[in-house]
Amino acid sequence: MKNKKIMNLVLIGIAVMIAVMPLILIKGSEFGGADGKAEEVVKETNPGYEPWIESFWAPPGGETESLLFALQAAIGSGVVCMVIGYYKGRKDGRRLSVSDR
């Protein structure tokens, strides 16, 4: 149990480092999406191509879009944490009911 906790902390630490490193190492980049670049490649390989349909609804601006992304992450992590909490509570409950006897 304790080993697993330490291992998890180390793994999360590495994950954070991998995510933060580019921000420190690469200057002058806005870290735009890779799909923006894909759009350029489409224009390059298939110069005549025009997107034939547009999204019928898009968030009006950056703020609303980040709200929706934050909401998505919040709902997702809420459910993940709830399930973890459910199993932890169940395990603790079992242990307590065993020690009661």
Partner 1 sequence: MKNLKFVILFFMLPSNLFSMHIMEGFLPPLWAGFWWLAALPFIWLGIRSVQKIVNAKPELKPLIAMAGAFAFVLSALKIPSVTGSSSHMTGVALGTLMFGPFTMALLGFIVLLFQALLLAHGGITTLGANTISMAVAGPMIAYFVFSLCRKIGVNERMGIFTAAFLCDIFTYVVTSAQLAFAHPAADGGVAVSIVKFLAVFAITQVPLAVIEGLLTVVVFNILSSYAIDEMKGLGFLKFTMEEQYEK
Buried b (16+ CB within 10 A) or exposed e, 13-42: eeeeeeeeeeeeeeeeeeeeeeeeeeeeee
Show contacts with partner 1 in window 20-79 (CB under 8 A).
21-23, 25-26, 29-39, 41-42, 44-47, 49, 51-59, 62, 65-66, 68-70, 72-73, 75-79
99 scored as a contact of partner 1 (CB under 8 A): no
The answer to whether the beta carbons of residues 59 and 65 sit under 8 Å apart is yes
The owner of tokens 């080993």 is 3
Rounded least distance, CB 100 to partner 1, Å: 16
Residue 96 CB, shortest distance to partner 1, in Å, is 14
Residue 93 in contact with partner 1, rule: CB under 8 A: no
